[in-house]
Amino acid sequence: MHQPERNQAASCSRARVWAWAGSLFGLLWIGLPVVDFAGSDPSAWQVALVAVGLLVFALAFLAVTAMERPLLMPMVAMLAVSVTLTLAAQDSFGLLFLWPASAAGVRLSGRTSELVVAAITALAAATLALTDPDSALFWSITATVFATGTLWFLLGGLVRANAALREARAELAELAVAEERMRFARDLHDLLGHDLSLIALKAELAGKLLPAGADAAATEVDDIKRLTRSALTQVRQAVDGYRRPTLAGELAGARVALEAAGIQLRVEGERVTLDPDVESVLAWAVREGATNVIRHSGARHAAITIRPGAAGAELEISDDGAGNGAGPEPGHGLDGLLERARSIGGGLEAGAAPEGGFRLRVTVPARGG
């Protein structure tokens, strides 16, 4: 696992621990309406209703805290318990509306979060209005639900902005690594490639100029040629390895370039392990596809989907623009990409997508040919 991936995993783990700790602490505040309820001389069925309701509420809230789980069903359960206990047990249970309002502020974003917080506030007000609309409790709980939901909406925005910043830093780190590899490959080739080639030529010329009887010298010169060509081959192989683009590096570069061009990018299946030759072709596909989207599509949104499989892998780049993806010289970049794909037994499809826009699809075998 690369260092950015390890950092991201550690950050997610820490965030999950803090989320659970905060949830358990937050549930302690349910004790406020419970104390008020206990002093109201409740009946046996009310006590049973409150016990079951609070258990369901706590489980639903913890499910909402698990950020990877769907939000709808736990939120509905929390709201149902809040309404039921407020109407059937004690109006102070209207405080329970604070938890779904806070969850909506954190888990949702943008306009959706604003509307859901407003709807929960309205539901809390309507529920309390059925108990005693003129009481101070009605106004204090309604105002508290709205203020708390708004506060967590603002805090959730900060959390999402920090997460996006961490992701951007990881992508920039991947891009910096790729750029450094390219620089090292270029410098290595410039420093050693020319000299090794010249040594090989000089040794070959010296071999031709030696007297016919100087067998030992000729053998040594042949060894020089062989070793020099071997060293030159190894340098070229090392340079080719460093110059070979990586899928993670190209995806990071595509994100930065597309965002700079005002195009929203969605990536699916980026964390895959592939044969180096296969990964190289897909990396070139990402570079070519992203370049075409920026230069020729006029799109506002783009998507890159990677589908690995036992027999091979597929990479698809699509956009919602009106361009044909070819540019001023139709097919030149795609022809080069097709040659790369065919060199390892793969293929390429490019053209207008049925739903509109342009689509580039590259298929490659599981291992390079």
Amino acid of residue 236: R
| Residue with the two structure tokens 């060509």 | 229
pLDDT computed for residue 57 by the predictor: 86
Output the pLDDT for position 303.
92
Q: What phi and psi, each to the nearest 5 degrees, are found at residue 189? A: -65, -45
- Tokens representing 276 are 């180096």
Q: Residue 188 has what pLDDT?
A: 67
Alpha helices in 189-246 (DSSP H): 194-209, 215-243
SS3 of the chain: helix, strand, coil, percent, to 5: 70, 10, 20
Measured over the CA atoms of residue 240, residue 246, residue 252 and residue 257, the dihedral's sign is positive
Kind and range of the H or E element at 352?
strand 347-352
Give me the sign of the Cα torsion angle 230, 236, 238, 240: negative
pLDDT in tens, the chain (369 residues): 444 444 444 444 454 554 445 555 566 677 777 887 787 788 888 889 888 988 888 888 888 776 556 778 888 888 998 899 888 888 888 888 888 888 887 777 778 878 888 888 899 888 888 887 667 778 888 888 888 888 877 777 777 777 777 777 777 777 777 777 777 766 666 656 656 666 666 667 666 666 655 666 666 677 677 767 766 666 665 665 566 677 888 888 888 888 878 889 998 886 777 788 888 889 889 988 888 888 878 888 999 999 887 778 899 999 988 765 444 444 457 887 888 888 888 899 988 888 888 899 999 887 765
According to DSSP, residue 244 is labeled S
The reported pTM is 0.44
> Would you give the end-to-end CA distance of the chain in angstroms?
26
**Rounded Cα–Cα distance for residues 267 and 248 (Å):** 11
Predicted local confidence at residue 194, as pLDDT = 59
pLDDT of residue 71: 76
Task: Calculate helix-pair angle for 72-88, 44-65, nearest 10 degrees.
Answer: 160
Residues 6+ apart with CB under 8 A from 133: none
- Which residues face 45 on adjacent strands? none
pLDDT for 327 equals 44
